[in-house]
Chain A
Amino acid sequence: MYHKLAAGIGLAGVAAILLAGCTAAPAPSGPVTITYSNFISNGGNEANLAKIVAAFEKANPTITVKVTTLPYDAYGTALQTDLAAGTEADVFDINGPSAYSPLESNGSLAQLNGVDGSLYNKALLDSYATDGKQYGLPTSFSDVVLYYNKDLFDAAGVSYPTAQWTWADETKAAKKLTDAATGVFGDHQPVTYYEYYKVLVQNGESLLNADQTKAAFNTPGGIEAAKWLVEKSGTTMPTIEQGQGTADFDTNLFKNGKLAMLHSGIWVFGAFADTPANWDIAVEPGNKKVANAVFSNAVGVSAKSKHSAEAQKWAEFLSSSDDAVNVRLDASWELPTIADTAKLKTYLDKGKPANRQAVFDAAKNIAAAPSIGDNQSKMQDIITAALIEAQAGRQTVEAALADAETKVNALLKG
């Protein structure tokens, strides 16, 4: 008899899933409450987000925004569970173009009409549009720049990085700056997918072919780009055994004055604020061209939202209103994605580093990140694993890339 009971409950469970698609009664008009689920305010910016919400509600008295904040690491799990069950918020955060792609292709995002595109940085706005239709709005961005320790440069008699630098210049400087006796390393750049797709563009190559159906990185230029990353390890950069790749390893090295150059994001400005050494930033040197990694977060409106007009209003306010911009700038909470850089002037005078203009210069030449829908994470895993095999010396760069190419092609073929 218990088998029957179990089977009955099981069928109920299946029925519940099948019925998940059914919609409830339409919502009444009048004061509207919309839900917003986010991860961007986590880790210290909850109060700042509350300020933006308060400003929005003041300007729109009939709309109330109910905010849910989730941990960054687990956000994807929660969002996908919501989407599977149909309980997603009206507005929700999108973790970059690579997360945007499967959401858009599966119809989870509502089309946003009547957005004033001139308000936004065009390249960022376009990374959340498909076939000319807008499905997400970028809310913040940060990019990767080259940090350098001026004191170490001075001591070694090496001139500072310039806009004309290429990889060869960087390598030369790094070798001169590396000093085993004092434990100083010349350069640090992570060996991951996120660096690789960018250095490929810097070398005139690309990760995938134009319609993203095949791998395109296993070329002489692609191998050269991989070697650019991998060969630092053990020469001008610590090896994996020495701790490279672990959390905060590179920033600690730089903070302690043991690293002359560092490729990292602008989000560590705060961590270096009280570093005694003189340091500054420069745009990353390219090889055949200059291209930079720009990470952005966005918001989207749920395709199933019953208050899409109000939801879109909130999305636009969060991403481009003066209130939101000012809150971000005051709190050094990443950078707004607006086009009018005049409004961002206060950012330039905020203290170390002096060359904050490099942040905006870097955003002018964005290395487009591949975005392939459901298989995105798997592809990234394949590439990073191959690079690490090469870095650890368990495979040659050529062999590792050839392996990765086979796997990526198999994955893209589906």
Chain B
Amino acid sequence: MTLPSAQATLLDRAPGFKHAKPVRDGRTRKNKLRYGLTVLAFLLPSAVPLAAFTLGPMIAALWVSLNKWNLLAPMKFVGLDNYSKLLSDGSTGAVFLHTIYFIAGYLPLVYIGGLALALALNTALKGRSLLRGVYFLPVVTSWIVVALVWRWLLSPSNGVVNTVLGFFGIVGPGWWTDPTWAMPSIIIASAWKDLGFVMVILLAGLQAISPDMYDAAKVDGAGWWRRLFSITLPLLSPSTFFVLVISLINGFQVFDQVYAMTGGGPNGSSQVVVLEVYDLTFRYGRAGEASALSWMLFIVILAVTVIQVRGQRRWVTYG
């Protein structure tokens, strides 16, 4: 592919000149078509499955949300009834609140913990490959097992946590048997399980930072804390951005751990949106409302993600 002649002349005059982006302004119709086909070629492998198997069913679910359906009998069109029913029901606000509570507790814990882990295991620590493997173990363990273990660890009367607290003279709470402590129990177990996931993502990002970046700072006499904030974190920001977006999208849809640890209880105190969707669809025979609730959740997640994506210009720096 040859460069248009004007640019070739520029390069002759100033060999060091570099474009910010490769130029593909497609001056000729042939170029434009070529370019368009290239874009299609790169996008179709993913666009077709996503459109057919996710976007399609999403639109079908939108249609279901305008109907009353118990999965057994034919659907009955009810317009926006499901939405108004959900919006006027207090429990809808409650499940959203519980979900946001989960995210607010989980996100800082898992990011800071994962970051600390990644920083520590990025050093010349002995046995760090083994350690990286061990920290990833919870990520690959199913929630059935993890929930069992944490319910046992947090057992109010003889669990390890309350026993240890007892040594310090603190009476441990009821954890997952107590409405006030059910969600914190889930948060702790979730953060613990996903630490390895965040660690892996951030490690990959850390590995991409060249060590020479720190030489100048060390010569300037910057301490490790300063180096962390002025060099490491900014260079890590693309990975951080990724972790935040994914964690938020997944956090809003938290399901497995709540289902396994508390089933939404006690007395609905840990009921989250997707568990409500599941109950409505498969246990209460209200698939229409379930779809409506899912679409409400979708709007929330979309809004949050758009804010994040727009905001990334302020703090995410790409190498």
Chain A interface (Cβ within 8 Å of chain B)? 2, 5-7, 9-14, 16-17, 21, 76-77, 80-81, 83-84, 102-103, 106-108, 239-243, 246, 374-375, 377-378, 385, 388-389, 392, 394
- The 26 sampled A-B contact pairs (Cβ below 8 Å) are A2-B47, A2-B51, A6-B56, A6-B59, A9-B59, A10-B60, A11-B59, A80-B281, A81-B71, A83-B72, A102-B285, A106-B70, A106-B73, A107-B73, A240-B174, A241-B156, A241-B174, A241-B177, A242-B156, A242-B157, A242-B158, A374-B284, A374-B286, A385-B265, A392-B174, A394-B179
Given A10-B56, A13-B60, A374 and B70 touching (CB < 8 A)? yes
Query: Is the pair A6, B282 in contact by a Cβ cutoff of 8 Å?
Result: no
CB proximity of B123 to chain A, nearest CB, Å: 42
- A76's partner among B47, B266, B283, B287 (CB-CB below 8 A) is B283
- B52 interfacial by beta-carbon distance below 8 Å: yes
Distance between Cα atoms of A389 and B177 in the complex (Å): 10
Q: What residues on B are CB-neighbors of A242 within 8 Å?
A: 156-158
- B51's partner among A6, A240, A377, A392 (CB-CB below 8 A) is A6
Q: What residues on B are CB-neighbors of A13 within 8 Å?
A: 56-57, 59-60
With A13-B59, A81-B71, A108-B72 already in contact, 16 other A-B pairs whose C-beta atoms are closer than 8 Å: A5-B47, A6-B56, A9-B52, A9-B55, A9-B56, A17-B60, A80-B72, A84-B71, A102-B72, A102-B285, A107-B72, A241-B174, A243-B158, A377-B284, A389-B266, A394-B179
- B105 interfacial by beta-carbon distance below 8 Å: no
Query: Is the pair B51, A5 in contact by a Cβ cutoff of 8 Å?
Result: yes
Q: What residues on A are CB-neighbors of B47 within 8 Å?
A: 2, 5
- B74 interfacial by beta-carbon distance below 8 Å: yes
Task: Name B154-195 residues within 8 Å CB distance of A.
Answer: 155-158, 174, 177-179
Q: What residues on B are CB-neighbors of A14 within 8 Å?
A: 59-60, 63
Distance between Cα atoms of A106 and B73 in the complex (Å): 6
Distance between Cα atoms of A392 and B176 in the complex (Å): 12
Distance between Cα atoms of A376 and B71 in the complex (Å): 15
- B268 interfacial by beta-carbon distance below 8 Å: yes
What residue of chain B has the Cβ atom nearest to residue A82's Cβ?
Answer: B71
Contact with A along B208-228 (1 / 0, CB 8 A): 000000000000000000000
Q: What residues on B are CB-neighbors of A243 within 8 Å?
A: 155, 157-158
CB proximity of A14 to chain B, nearest CB, Å: 5
Distance between Cα atoms of A76 and B57 in the complex (Å): 21
Q: What residues on B are CB-neighbors of A377 within 8 Å?
A: 279, 283-284
CB proximity of B32 to chain A, nearest CB, Å: 15
Q: What residues on A are CB-neighbors of B286 within 8 Å?
A: 374
Contact with A along B103-125 (1 / 0, CB 8 A): 00000000000000000000000
- B151 interfacial by beta-carbon distance below 8 Å: yes
Distance between Cα atoms of A7 and B72 in the complex (Å): 27
Task: Name B65-86 residues within 8 Å CB distance of A.
Answer: 70-74
Given A2-B47, A377-B283, A377-B284, A102 and B70 touching (CB < 8 A)? yes
Q: What residues on B are CB-neighbors of A80 within 8 Å?
A: 71-72, 281-282
Query: Is the pair B177, A240 in contact by a Cβ cutoff of 8 Å?
Result: yes
Distance between Cα atoms of A81 and B174 in the complex (Å): 37
What residue of chain A has the Cβ atom nearest to residue B53's Cβ?
Answer: A9
CB proximity of A89 to chain B, nearest CB, Å: 15
Contact with A along B247-290 (1 / 0, CB 8 A): 00000000000000000011110000000000101111111000
Distance between Cα atoms of A301 and B86 in the complex (Å): 36
CB proximity of B263 to chain A, nearest CB, Å: 9
- B55's partner among A6, A103, A240 (CB-CB below 8 A) is A6
Distance between Cα atoms of A16 and B157 in the complex (Å): 54
- B267's partner among A84, A374, A389 (CB-CB below 8 A) is A389
Q: What residues on B are CB-neighbors of A106 within 8 Å?
A: 70, 72-73
- B56's partner among A12, A239, A240 (CB-CB below 8 A) is A12
Query: Is the pair A385, B266 in contact by a Cβ cutoff of 8 Å?
Result: yes
Distance between Cα atoms of A241 and B175 in the complex (Å): 9
- B58 interfacial by beta-carbon distance below 8 Å: yes
Most buried by A among B73, B156, B174, B265: B73
Query: Is the pair A10, B55 in contact by a Cβ cutoff of 8 Å?
Result: yes
Given A10-B60, A243-B157, A392 and B266 touching (CB < 8 A)? yes
The 4 closest A-B pairs by CB, nearest first: A10-B59, A374-B285, A106-B72, A241-B156
Query: Is the pair B151, A246 in contact by a Cβ cutoff of 8 Å?
Result: yes
Query: Is the pair A241, B157 in contact by a Cβ cutoff of 8 Å?
Result: yes
CB proximity of B285 to chain A, nearest CB, Å: 4
What residue of chain A has the Cβ atom nearest to residue B40's Cβ?
Answer: A1
CB proximity of A136 to chain B, nearest CB, Å: 15
Distance between Cα atoms of A102 and B73 in the complex (Å): 10
Q: What residues on A are CB-neighbors of B285 within 8 Å?
A: 102, 374-375
Q: What residues on A are CB-neighbors of B155 within 8 Å?
A: 243
What residue of chain A has the Cβ atom nearest to residue B175's Cβ?
Answer: A241
What residue of chain A has the Cβ atom nearest to residue B71's Cβ?
Answer: A84
Query: Is the pair A392, B177 in contact by a Cβ cutoff of 8 Å?
Result: yes
Q: What residues on A are CB-neighbors of B177 within 8 Å?
A: 240-241, 392
What residue of chain B has the Cβ atom nearest to residue A238's Cβ?
Answer: B157
CB proximity of A228 to chain B, nearest CB, Å: 21
Query: Is the pair A76, B282 in contact by a Cβ cutoff of 8 Å?
Result: yes
Distance between Cα atoms of A106 and B268 in the complex (Å): 29
Distance between Cα atoms of A362 and B94 in the complex (Å): 43
Query: Is the pair B282, A77 in contact by a Cβ cutoff of 8 Å?
Result: yes
Query: Is the pair B51, A9 in contact by a Cβ cutoff of 8 Å?
Result: yes
Distance between Cα atoms of A239 and B157 in the complex (Å): 9
Query: Is the pair B51, A385 in contact by a Cβ cutoff of 8 Å?
Result: no
CB proximity of A402 to chain B, nearest CB, Å: 15
Q: What residues on A are CB-neighbors of B72 within 8 Å?
A: 80, 83-84, 102-103, 106-108
Distance between Cα atoms of A103 and B73 in the complex (Å): 9
CB proximity of A72 to chain B, nearest CB, Å: 14
Given A10-B60, A14-B60, A102-B285, A21 and B55 touching (CB < 8 A)? no
Query: Is the pair B70, A388 in contact by a Cβ cutoff of 8 Å?
Result: no
Distance between Cα atoms of A1 and B284 in the complex (Å): 39
Q: What residues on A are CB-neighbors of B52 within 8 Å?
A: 9
- B71's partner among A2, A12, A83, A107 (CB-CB below 8 A) is A83
Q: What residues on A are CB-neighbors of B70 within 8 Å?
A: 102, 106, 374
